[in-house]
Amino acid sequence: MNAGEDNGLPPLTIMLVAGEPSGDQLGAQLIGGLKAVSFKIGREIRVVGVGGDAMTSAGLDSIFPLDATSVMGIREVVPRIPEILRHVQQAVQFALKQRPDLVVLIDSPDFTHRIAKGLKRADRTLRTANYPPPQVWASRAYRARKMARYMDAVLAILPFEAKFFERFGIETHFVGFPIIERKAHMVGGAAFRERHAINPDAKLLAVLPGSRRNEVRFILPPFKGAVEALAREITNLVTVIPTIGHVGEAVQKGAADWPTPLHIVQGEDEKYSAFDAADVALAASGTVTSELALARTPMVVGYRTGWLTYALGRPLLSVKFITLINLVLGREAIPEFLQADCTPQKIAEAIRPYLNNSETRALQISAMDEALAALGESDESPSMRAARAVVDLASR
């Protein structure tokens, strides 16, 4: 990264490791922040590591693609464990050879934390930071104590996380919720409809069945059933499914014989424009729900996974909600349907008012604005605050 006026300090090497698309987006935003900080402080910052299309576009030369690590659920993970473990070792050996000033593990704790543990076993002097930390405050809080053994610092994105992790002796920097930075991209809805020949009067439903193959496998069928139920009474219903490369084939297959006119689109710009164009969204729980809130698109959230994964995980949850907006507000402003409740009938019934009732829509949009304000917007972006924290940690 080109710096401003050279201050004579040696370059900093930052290793970033993302394990799935949401982390790839955060990593790309962090790279942008590091470029800006590099220029401000007049010091070269070299970024290496693992990322996807977004981080590659931002300038990273990834040592391997994300496809093998972007998995979730016991049935999907187990067959790929050998490949995942090979990539863990590949990342560990790369770090040991490169000797970065800081290794930033981004999201995907089942993958990235294995790398952090491997690094600390091999060399305690290599410094590690987690961005963002896993939501251990929601499930199995004791894991934070274990994290303290292999994670030197965390970059927290939620206000209450700082106090939580500091209790376990982990240095914590609150940087803010980075998804907020994508608000400016949530535009272009009218042009999207025109580009795809969608009538301005049509009811447009955005369907988002997840960014992992296993999510698509379990979640798309009930979502499709809900669309089918709605289509029987809403004759001008049109559907758009924004997707990404590595799950595109699964989406195409699952969307065969779709009950409404359907547009499957790829790319970040198309996704954000689709959000702006949509009247309502049906989304799997995840980062996308926060993006929809930024677009002020009313939504219903559903999530379903394999029975064994759910049976093992559900008793460990200590929070009432799975959607961040609801967690921040402490109430169910966005309808959620989890596992057995994630049925076509229940989902369709929840979506219907957001297509037909302006007051219902306005109430949810107001709740979204309230939650986003609580997450904090300021003159300095979360990615800039994260970049400054990374540079501070790497410079010690």
Digit-coded pLDDT (tens) for 365-376: 999 999 988 786
The confidence score (pLDDT) of residue 311 equals 64
Three-state DSSP class for residue 206: strand
Selection from 107-111, 209-213, 277-281 with the highest mean pLDDT? 277-281
Examine the domain organization and report whether 202 and 63 are in the same domain: no
Q: Nearest to residue 92, comparing CAs of 62, 124, 66, 120?
A: 120
β-bridge mates for residue 205, sequence order: 239, 280
Q: Calculate mean pLDDT across residues 233-240.
A: 96
Angle between helices 109-122 and 81-98 (to 10 degrees): 50
127, 102 in Cβ contact below 8 A? yes
12-18 and 45-50: which strand pairing? parallel
Evaluate whether residue 256 is within a structural domain: yes
**Does the residue 350 lie in any domain?**
yes
Secondary structure E strands in 73-224: 102-106, 128-131, 153-156, 171-174, 203-208
| C-beta separation of 292 from 218 below 8 A | no
Please report whether residue 5 resides in a domain. Answer: no
pTM for the predicted model, two decimal places = 0.70
User: 138 with 253, same domain?
Assistant: no
Claim to verify: residue 370 and residue 382 sit in the same structural domain: no
| 142: pLDDT strictly greater than 90 | no
Please write the tens of the pLDDT for every residue from 85-122.
Answer: 899 999 999 999 999 999 999 988 989 999 999 999 99
Residue 197 phi, psi dihedral angles, 5° rounding: 55, 45
- Band (pLDDT 50/70/90 cuts) for residue 74 is very low
Task: Kindly tell me the sign of the dihedral angle through the C-alpha atoms of 268, 272, 274, 279.
Answer: positive
Same domain, 101 and 151: yes
**Residues 162-172, mean pLDDT to the nearest whole number:** 93
Question: Comparing C-alpha atoms, which of 33, 25, 97 is closest to residue 63?
Answer: 97
Edge-first strand order for the sheet with 299-303 is 262-266, 237-243, 203-208, 280-284, 299-303, 336-338
Are 34 and 52 in a shared domain? yes
Contact predicate 375/180, CB 8 Å: yes
Q: Is residue 67 part of a domain?
A: yes
- pLDDT of 73 reads 47
Q: Which residues pair with 337 in a beta bridge?
A: 302
- pLDDT category of residue 247 using cuts at 50, 70 and 90: confident
- The label of the residue with tokens 């009811």 reads 203
Pairing of the two strands 237-243 and 262-266? parallel
Same domain, 160 and 308: no
- How many CB atoms are closer than 10 A to CB 345? 11
Q: Average pLDDT of the chain?
A: 90
The Cα-based distances of 166 to 41, 152, 153, 156 in angstroms read 29, 11, 10, 11
Portion of the chain with pLDDT greater than 90, in percent: 69
Over residues 124-152, the mean pLDDT reads: 90
Mean pLDDT of 378-388: 89
- 190 and 168 within one domain: no
Is the same domain home to 128 and 190? no
Any residues with CB less than 8 A from the CB of 54 and at least 6 apart, and which?
21, 24, 25, 27, 28, 268
In this structure, the answer to whether residues 82 and 203 fall within a common structural domain is: no
Q: What are phi and psi of 42, to 5 degrees?
A: 65, 40
Confidence label for 69 from pLDDT (cuts 50, 70 and 90): low
199 and 286 in a single domain? The answer is: yes
pLDDT at residue number 108: 87
The domain total for the chain is 2
pLDDT for res 160: 82
Predicted pLDDT of residue 155: 97
What is the C-alpha radius of gyration for the chain, rounded to an integer number of angstroms? Answer: 21
Q: Which domain holds residue 86?
A: 12-177+378-394
How does pLDDT run across 6-49, given as a tens digit for each residue? 677 899 999 999 988 889 999 999 999 999 999 999 999 999 99
Furthest C-alpha separation in the chain = 69
Q: Residues 336-352: what's their mean pLDDT?
A: 96
* pLDDT at residue 316 is higher than 70: no
pLDDT of residue 68: 57
pLDDT at 5 over 80: no
What integer pLDDT is reported at residue 320 of this predicted model?
83
Residue 190 falls inside a structural domain? yes
Which helix (H) or strand (E) segment holds residue 48: the answer is strand 45-50
| Of the candidates 126, 158, 109, 129, the residue with the CA atom closest to the CA atom of residue 16 | 129
Answer whether residue 4 is part of any domain. Answer: no
Tell me whether residue 2 is in a domain.
no
Let me know whether 78 and 130 are in one domain. Answer: yes
Domain co-membership, 212 together with 329 = yes
pLDDT-derived band at 296, boundaries 50, 70, 90: very high
pLDDT of residue 377: 67
- Of residues 114 and 2, more confidence is placed in 114
Q: Among 190, 365, 340, 216, which residue's Cα sits nearest to residue 281?
A: 365
State in Å, rounded, how far the first CA of the chain is from the last one.
20
The interaxial angle of helices 287-294 and 358-375, nearest 10 deg, is 110
- CATH number of residue 44's parent domain: 3.40.50.2000
Confirm whether 6 is domain-assigned: no
